A and B are shown apart, each in its own frame.
Chain A
Amino acid sequence: MRRLLGGVLFIVVCSVTLWSQDAPVISGGAAWVTTKSGDATFHQPILSPVLALPLGSKLLVEARGDLRWLIARENFTSGSYQSTFFGTLEYLQLDYLVHPNLTITAGRFLTPFGIYNERLTPVWIRNLQEVPIIFTIGTRTTGSSDGVMLRGAKGNDDIQLNYTTYFSASSTVNKFESARSAGFRLGTFLPQSRVELGLSYQRFLQSQHFDSYGAHFAWQPWSAPVDLKAEYAHAPGGHGYWIEAALRDTSLSGESILHHLQPVARVQQFWRIKPFAGDSLPGVDTQQLDLGLNVLLPKEVRLTGSYGRRFTDAVDQNNWNIGVTYRFLFPLTLGGSR
């Protein structure tokens, strides 16, 4: 951990001396989430800082960590409370904006599969704190990859196309664990209707070789403050989907009460095809319904709450979540022209 922090600090110090025009930014989220899953209750203080460090006009260093403590009873339902710390480096990447339609990324990056892992995981963004059941499909083993990625977007005000392709090496280095894999994602976005569609594919190349594929959909109609998102994913061990609907008033005015209240509903289904070692998916067919309400407060504070009911042939289970999230963002104003 010390080496990692030292390396990050070294990059920051070197980069600060090199940047020519734009100030680096520290942003991210902090949260406290309390979960009651079945009879077990646990608490998680979370800090997830993000660094965005532009270098000149073509380079960007990005990094995000996830620091969290799991506070739970010794046996989850009984015993004294104990705290366990988990520190994760989710990405530490160098982006080279070679061309308007091509960015080359090297380092550790979030595995691009669907939209959840790359865009919806920050605690201050996600509408429901629990990740979807199918989250691990296409993102094994850690959600992050170590290697090279090419990506870009091209289009106009009517239609935009985007692509991402990557190769990841296997790594067991502490904080840089990843699996050997390759994959791509293709997407299209229609700005006039704010509809987004995409397909993802991953070839897992570790001791097991297998394919995962998926599709995603998002829609934020102009005529209503509604946010619809859905993903489907398939892996040899099972397949499933989630559909999430939320109210989201994206106006800046804040006049509407809906600007401060955000009801959320998500339905999920997962079908187990066969046992598959290490896929972190439920062992049996599973369905889940989550209902949540988020309250947006001033100063980027948000209260979150949700109730979920998980249905399986074996046992049904209630999941409760309450928490508070805080989003922060500030420039490091040692320099910069703006």
Chain B
Amino acid sequence: MKNEGVLLGTAGVLALTLLMFTGAIAAPQEQSADRKSNQKTSVSAAGSSDGERKFATHCGRCHNPPQELSPKAVPAVLRHMRVRAMLTEDDEKAILEFMAP
């Protein structure tokens, strides 16, 4: 237990540094304004559809986006993720439309 303070302090500093470094600690209005632009830049250049937005919202919560994904695989993957990651049916359909139109 002698290292408890050091450990917690280190962790706190690391977390804070990480957040500050990446600009996560921003004024609420800045976050709000940035969000839309980030949503557009964080997905492909094909435009900002509902499906793209939901892809960015949900899929990155646990893993990096796939580098390559056959459209034939998308329906099974999304049904799998609907169960695994608790996607709503609407979100599943929107992402499906985006990834395998």
A residues sitting closer than 8 Å to B (CB atoms) are 21-25, 27, 50, 52-54, 60, 62, 95, 97, 100-101, 103, 105, 118-120, 124-125, 151-155, 160, 162, 164, 187, 189, 191-192, 194, 196, 218, 220-226, 228, 243, 245, 247-248, 250-253, 263, 265, 267, 269, 285, 287, 289, 291, 296, 298-300, 311, 313, 316, 327, 329-331, 333, 336, 338
Contact of B24 among A103, A223, A267, A291 (CB under 8 A): A223
A-B contact pairs, 16 of them (CB 8 A): A100-B89, A100-B90, A119-B85, A160-B86, A162-B86, A194-B57, A223-B35, A226-B19, A226-B24, A250-B64, A287-B7, A296-B64, A316-B3, A329-B69, A330-B70, A336-B75
Contact of B80 among A52, A100, A194 (CB under 8 A): A52
Q: Which residues of A contact B8 (CB under 8 A)?
A: 267
Flag if B3 contacts A287 (CB, 8 Å): yes
CB nearest to B96 among chain A residues = A338
Q: Which residues of A contact B80 (CB under 8 A)?
A: 25, 50, 52, 60, 62
Q: Which residues of B contact A54 (CB under 8 A)?
A: 75-76, 79
Flag if B10 contacts A289 (CB, 8 Å): yes
Report B68-100 residues with CB < 8 Å from chain A CB: 68-77, 79-80, 82-90, 100
Q: Which residues of B contact A243 (CB under 8 A)?
A: 11, 15
Q: Report the bound CA distance from A196 to B10 in whole Å.
A: 25
CB nearest to B73 among chain A residues = A331
B1, B8, B73, most chain A CB atoms within 10 A: B73
Contact of A338 among B31, B66, B71, B83 (CB under 8 A): B71
Contact A221 B88, CB 8 Å, known A248-B64, A336-B72: no
Count of chain B residues near A, Cβ 8 A: 62
Flag if B65 contacts A250 (CB, 8 Å): yes
Query: Known contacts A97-B82, A267-B10; can you find 12 more A-B pairs with CB under 8 A?
Result: A23-B72, A119-B85, A153-B86, A218-B61, A222-B31, A222-B34, A223-B23, A224-B22, A245-B19, A252-B42, A289-B11, A329-B69
CB of A239 to closest CB in B, whole Å: 16
Flag if A247 contacts B18 (CB, 8 Å): yes
The contact string, 1 if C-beta is below 8 Å from chain A, for chain B 28-48, is: 001100110011011111000
Flag if A22 contacts B38 (CB, 8 Å): no
CB of B16 to closest CB in A, whole Å: 10
The A contact surface, by secondary structure, is strand
A118, A251, A316, most chain B CB atoms within 10 A: A251
The B contact surface, by secondary structure, is helix
Q: Which residues of B contact A224 (CB under 8 A)?
A: 19, 22-24
Q: Which residues of B contact A245 (CB under 8 A)?
A: 14-15, 18-19
Flag if A52 contacts B24 (CB, 8 Å): no
Contact A253 B41, CB 8 Å, known A25-B77, A60-B80: yes
Flag if B43 contacts A252 (CB, 8 Å): yes
Flag if B26 contacts A103 (CB, 8 Å): no
Q: Report the bound CA distance from A154 to B92 in whole Å.
A: 12
CB of B65 to closest CB in A, whole Å: 6
Flag if B65 contacts A154 (CB, 8 Å): no
Q: Which residues of A contact B70 (CB under 8 A)?
A: 330-331
CB of B23 to closest CB in A, whole Å: 5
CB of A250 to closest CB in B, whole Å: 3
Contact of B72 among A62, A265, A331 (CB under 8 A): A331
Q: Which residues of B contact A103 (CB under 8 A)?
A: 82-83
Q: Report the bound CA distance from A265 to B21 in whole Å.
A: 14
Q: Report the bound CA distance from A316 to B76 in whole Å.
A: 46
Q: Which residues of B contact A52 (CB under 8 A)?
A: 76-77, 79-80
Flag if B31 contacts A223 (CB, 8 Å): yes
Q: Report the bound CA distance from A23 to B8 in whole Å.
A: 49
Q: Report the bound CA distance from A257 to B1 in whole Å.
A: 38
Q: Which residues of B contact A291 (CB under 8 A)?
A: 14
